Amino acid sequence: MKNTIAYESFLIKTLTKDKFSIIVGGFCPKGKKLEASNTYEKISKLMLGQSIDEYIIDYTLAEAIKKISPEWVPVVGASISIDNIKNKTGGIIGSPWKQNESAQEEIEQIITDIYSISFPGGPGVAFKGSYSDGLKLKNILTEYKKEKHSIDTVINKLSEITDLYILVEDGSGYMSQGGIYVSDNNGKHYKTFN
């Protein structure tokens, strides 16, 4: 589905105040990409790596995103790389205006024509499309989780469905990839911790 609504994606990578790498991306109204990027650069002034508890890491990250999000940003994803974490964590995606929830592999409508799907241990995706597109993506992501698809295959399949998306990989824990992939009418972009 082509992006006919007036959103574009933004993507930044920085360090938190306590020197952990973090990537933030999302959707913003067209023409506000620079303002969105500058707003989320403020995350560099926050301490986010104070816990090695998987739940607390995601909760702290989500609360930090809520704290700095402008009201005109409908979707945000973030990935943080914290050392010495056992299980995959450190990735969030969704509306900064909804209650925090753990990933449940459900297709959720964020706003009209924007949906999200997130899996425990990642990845999480938000995209312009329909619920039926979400069902297709859920199958693709399930195969990816079973290591039957590469991230490149997932991105290619996602690009066949829509040109407005964000995919977030958990940045902490054993075998975590860490990164955010975004796309809009201006093309595809990504940042990783590698």
Q: Supply the mean pLDDT for the chain.
A: 92
**% of the chain exceeding 70 in pLDDT:** 95
pTM for the model stands at 0.93
Residue 4: pLDDT over 60: no
Other CB atoms within 10 Å distance of the CB of residue 154:
19
In the chain, where the domains are located: 7-192
Given a contact cutoff of 8 angstroms between Cβ atoms, the answer to whether 90 and 178 are in contact is yes
For helices 131-145 and 151-161, angle between their N-to-C axes, nearest 10 degrees: 170
pLDDT band at 146 (very low <50, low <70, confident <90, very high): confident
